[in-house]
A and B are shown apart, each in its own frame.
Chain A
Amino acid sequence: AQSVTQLGSHVSVSEGALVLLRCNYSSSVPPYLFWYVQYPNQGLQLLLKYTTGATLVKGINGFEAEFKKSETSFHLTKPSAHMSDAAEYFCAVSEYGNKLVFGAGTILRVKS
């Protein structure tokens, strides 16, 4: 069975600082991995995805993530945080591209 663990339910960074949100997954087959962002009172927006190929994937709003099979990780990073990045971020795994299994989410706070 698939599972996702997001380390840190809340992360706080200063504006301009590095953003690092951690995600580890468990999957019995090569996984498809996703990061979604949810702004208050809104639906989920896809930030980026890894399916096959290049292990460093770039997404929208300057975010990127690296798939590390040996570490079963898919951490999300952004070099410089912006106030508009404050939101909740969900990591998700999918086997064979069907249902998504989500992590518990990480709320990102950006301090001015």
Chain B
Amino acid sequence: SAVISQKPSRDICQRGTSLTIQCQVDSQVTMMFWYRQQPGQSLTLIATANQGSEATYESGFVIDKFPISRPNLTFSTLTVSNMSPEDSSIYLCSVRGGTGSSYEQYFGPGTRLTVT
């Protein structure tokens, strides 16, 4: 399985500002995913990030609010822009690992964001 790290692990930000979250993987992966977990709720996919192409966003998420970079096969960033208290969540990156028939996803430890 892949080992995934995220920075920062947590942050408290003021509304109107932006935060960039980094995700680093210890091996090269094609597909990376960004999820949001709002307080007391389940995980929702924000976007899929493949190296060398534009990220694909899920319904309800837009690039202007959540720009994503994927400069290489081991790294990605998610920016939460113009934050409001409603953006307070845990943001997790994940990668698809295993062989071609496994398709499991491994998750980073998450970034706990509080917007005041």
A residues whose Cβ falls under 8 Å from a Cβ of B? 32, 34, 36, 41-46, 49, 51-52, 90, 94, 97-105
Contact = CB atoms under 8 A, between A and B. Distances in A.
Interface of B: 1, 31, 33, 41-45, 48, 58, 92, 94, 96, 101-110, 112
Contacts, number: 56
Contacts of B58: 99
Contact of A99 (B41, B48, B106, B110): B48
Most chain A C-beta atoms within 10 Å of own C-beta, residue among B94, B96, B104: B104
Contact of B103 (A42, A44, A94, A104): A94
B104 A99 contact: no
Nearest to B102: A51
Contact of B105 (A42, A100, A105): A100
B45 A104 contact: no
Contact of B42 (A51, A90, A94, A97): A90
A22 B34 CA distance: 26
Nearest to A99: B45
A104 B44 CA distance: 10
Nearest to A44: B107
Nearest to B58: A99
A101 B109 CA distance: 19
Contacts of B42: 90, 102-105
B44 to A, nearest CB: 8
